[in-house]
Amino acid sequence: MSILFQLVIRNTRLYLRDKATVFFSFLSVIIIILMYVLFLGKMQQDNLADNFAGVDGIDWLVSSWIMAGIVTVSSVTVPLSAIGTLINDRSTGVLNDFYTSPVNRNLLALSYLISAWFIAFIMVGFNFIIGQIYVLSTGGELLGLLPTLKMLGAIIISIMSFSSMFFYIALFMKTANSFSTLATLVGTFIGFLGGIYIPIGVLGKNVQAVMNVLPSAHSVTLIRNIYMEGAIAKVFEHAPQEAYDSYAYIYGLEVNIGDYTMSSLALVLSLVVFGLIFYVLSVWKLSKSKL
C-alpha cells in the first residue's frame, strides 16, 4: 500500500505542478461564470421575476441553480484533466520505466485512477465552498449539515463515475494530442449536455430524450435537487404545485425517460452502475494489454 500511496502522491504533484493543466481543467467553469454574469443570470432572473413577482428568494434560486451546474461541470472536467498524467507518462516514456520496475501494473493503473479521484474531490470541493459563499452574498443561505453531506456524497459518486469512464477511454489513447482533443470536446459540450447553457426544458423532445439518458444529466439533476432545496422551498412555498412542476421541467430538476421520472435514488444508482461498468471494462482492458 505504501507504493500505491507514493504513486498517488507523485501523480497528484505532477498535476498540480502544471499550472496550465489546472487552469484549462477549470476553463469550462470560467466560461459558465462569464456567461452567467453577462447574460444567463439576468435572463433567468427576469423570467422568474415575471412569473413570481414580489416573491423573495429569486436571486437565491438562480445563483443556486448556476452554482450546482458549476459543481457538476468541474466534477467532469477536473478528473478528465487529472487522468492526463497517464497519457503524459506514456508519451514521454516514463511508463516504460515503470514497466521495468517491480511495481504491479494493476497497482500502477489504480494509482492514476485514485489520484484523479483525490484531485477532483479537492478541486470540486473548493468550487462548492466558493459557490456557497457566492450564494450567501446574493441573499441566500448556506446548506445545512445534512444537505452538505448529501452534496459531498453526490460529488464523490459523480467524480468516481466520470473518472472511470475517462480512464477507460484513456487506455486507448497513445498521445497527449489525442487526449487534449478529447478534453477540448468534453469541455466544450459539457455545458450543453448538462443543460447549463440552455435549460433542457426549452429544447426539442428528441434532444431531451437523448440528454436524459446521459450520466451528465443524472449528475447535474441530483446535485441541483440537493443544492437548491432551500431556495426552492422559499420561492415555491405558496405557489401551486403546477408552478414548481413547470419550473422543474424547464430547468432540469427532473429526469424523464419516457413516462418515468427518475427519483434521487434512481439517479444515484444510475451513476454507480455507470461507473462500475467502465471500471469493469478498464480491468478487462488492462488484463488484455500492458496499460
pLDDT in tens, the chain (291 residues): 688 888 899 989 988 888 877 777 777 777 777 777 777 677 777 777 777 666 788 889 988 999 999 999 999 999 999 998 888 888 888 777 776 777 777 788 888 899 999 999 998 998 899 889 989 988 899 999 999 999 999 999 999 999 999 999 998 888 888 888 888 888 878 888 777 888 888 888 888 888 899 999 999 999 999 999 999 999 998 888 998 999 999 898 999 988 899 999 999 999 999 999 998 898 888 777 655
**pLDDT of the residue at 139:** 86
Residue 189, Ramachandran bin (φ over 0: left; ψ between -120 and 50: alpha; else beta):
alpha
In the chain, where the domains are located? 26-288
Distance in angstroms (rounded) separating the CA atoms of residues 80 and 152: 19
In whole angstroms, how large is the CA radius of gyration of the chain?
20
Question: Locate cell 441573499: which residue?
Answer: 139
